[in-house]
Amino acid sequence: MSLKTDKPVELAAAEEKRRITRQVIAWLNTCPCLPVKQAGYGGLQPGRPGVALVSPQGAVIRKRYICGGHLGEYPFSLTYRIVNPGSSTDKRLKADEALDAVGAWAASGRPDVGPTAQARRVEVAARAALSAVWQDGDEDHEIQLKLIYEVI
């Protein structure tokens, strides 16, 4: 439920979420400051650096239009795994800096989200920070973003 309206959150169709996920990943992979060659979806491999997009909630509908379209929000996070930084504060801060750079890049542009939708903006919802430390010493750093889009 939303605290503002006490209405239940309306999820967008699963097909819409999958389409937007694919489009956002393809767009993120054009980012010149992405700290790895290619971002993926979901989990990351142990012992290997990587970036993955995760959107646990999926796309939600914020407003329905009389003409049949809607305003949507697609919250997602990017997780960047660094391999065994040991006690290096510098490596940790560089991981956060890399994700913040990707966030700044994303907020300055808009992905193509398909023929029936239009991206309005991308916002940084939370700056990059350490999110997990694994037994093997690897660490995950995460930045939270959201795409605001319209289905027309």
Q: What is the separation of C-alpha 33 from the centre of its chain, rounded to a whole number of angstroms?
A: 15
- 109, pLDDT greater than 90: yes
pLDDT score of 152 more than 90: no
Q: Is the pLDDT of residue 2 over 60?
A: no
- Examine the pLDDT at 114 and tell me if it is beyond 80: yes
Backbone angles phi, psi at 38, to 5 degrees: -150, 135
- Evaluate if residue 49 carries a pLDDT over 60: yes
Residue environment code for 49-67, b if the CB has 16+ CB neighbours within 10 A, otherwise e: ebbbbbbeebbbbeeeeee
Token pair, residue 124, equals: 């940084």
Q: What is the mean pLDDT of the chain?
A: 93
If you average pLDDT over residues 106-115, what whole number do you get? 95
pLDDT score, position 56: 83
Cα 29-34-35 angle, rounded to 5 deg: 135
Q: Report pLDDT for 8.
A: 81
Q: Tell me the pTM.
A: 0.91
- The pLDDT score that the predictor gives to residue 3 is 56
Give the pLDDT of residue 4.
59
Instruction: Give the closest residue to 149 by CA, choosing from 91, 94, 75, 95.
Output: 75
- Residue 47 makes CB contacts below 8 A (sequence gap 6+) with 83, 136, 138
Contact between residue 52 and residue 127 where contact means Cβ atoms under 8 Å apart: no
